Amino acid sequence: MSSIHARGVRKSFGDLEVLRGVDLDVNPGEVLCIVGPSGSGKSTLLRCINLLITPDEGEIYLDNIALTDPHIRPEWVRQQIGMVFQQFNLFTHLSAKKNVMLALRHVKHLDRKKAEATAKAQLGRVGLADKLNAYPAQLSGGQQQRVAIARALAMDPKVILFDEPTSALDPESIQDVLAVMGRLGQEGMTMAVVTHEMGFAKEVADRVIFFDGGRVIEEGSPDEIFERAGHERTQSFMKKILR
């Protein structure tokens, strides 16, 4: 089981300072939920962790390895850290199976048979064994997101980042996706989840972080953050969303 540690991460886009010195830990096997208003920098933070965005300052560690070291290849980092997007981002020209197989073939260089076997196994794991040959446009949002999770899992990542994985889904699909994520958490996957799903956070999260204005405002157990937040900013946000 692996962990993520961010220290003093800063990132600006032009004049806009999006991350203002973020310290963050995702401990081994932990499910960490990150909540906070839109535009607070949550997505940018996740993207800094797998180097989709290069931080201006600060260090990010996967276990003891400094990912921000310039000698480290970003492609290698991204093999270790899976990511699931709000808009699924499945490859629209490929079937579910081939979506999962693509990186296995081109990054892990598995032969077709092995890649296909892995893809089938992972799609089965997210409950889509019967949709192997369906194309993204033929799948519901929830099914697409589960394919995306299978695609991330197939690379055998040490950590998975979820960027509002259910925000684009209908209520029924949300439950399917959350169930898959909950199971992953129980199996001991280290996960950082940006979410507005308070039910999920309460049930599955080991720890919750309230994030606003580019920094961590407060962290604690789900109960502490949702029910007994110490910080005024956290309280007012929770009041709005827990209504």
Residue 109 beta carbon to other proteins: minimum distance, rounded to whole angstroms: 11
Under the phi-then-psi rule, with left for phi > 0, alpha for psi from -120 to 50, and beta for the rest, what region is 89?
A: left
Q: Measured from the CB atom, is 27 or 79 closer to other proteins?
A: 79
CA-to-CA dists, residue 231 to 143, 144, 209, 228, 234, angstroms: 38, 37, 12, 9, 5
Stated as kind and residue range, the H or E segment containing 79 is helix 74-80
Q: Measured from the CB atom, is 24 or 152 closer to other proteins?
A: 152
Residues that bind other proteins (CB under 8 A): 50, 52, 74-79, 82-83, 85, 87, 89-93, 102-103, 106-107, 134-138, 148, 151-152, 155
d(CA 207, CA 189): 14
Residue 103 beta carbon to other proteins: minimum distance, rounded to whole angstroms: 4
d(CA 77, CA 73): 7
CA-to-CA dists, residue 211 to 19, 37, 162, angstroms: 10, 8, 15
Q: Measured from the CB atom, is 79 or 175 closer to other proteins?
A: 79
Residue 130 beta carbon to other proteins: minimum distance, rounded to whole angstroms: 16
Residue 222 beta carbon to other proteins: minimum distance, rounded to whole angstroms: 27
Cα 225 to the center of its chain, rounded Å: 20
Q: Measured from the CB atom, is 75 or 187 closer to other proteins?
A: 75
R_g (Cα) of the chain, nearest Å: 18
Q: Measured from the CB atom, is 52 or 121 closer to other proteins?
A: 52
Residue 53 beta carbon to other proteins: minimum distance, rounded to whole angstroms: 10
Under the phi-then-psi rule, with left for phi > 0, alpha for psi from -120 to 50, and beta for the rest, what region is 95?
A: beta
Residue 83 beta carbon to other proteins: minimum distance, rounded to whole angstroms: 4
Q: Measured from the CB atom, is 156 or 223 closer to other proteins?
A: 156
- How many other β-carbons are positioned within 10 Å of the β-carbon of residue 169? 21
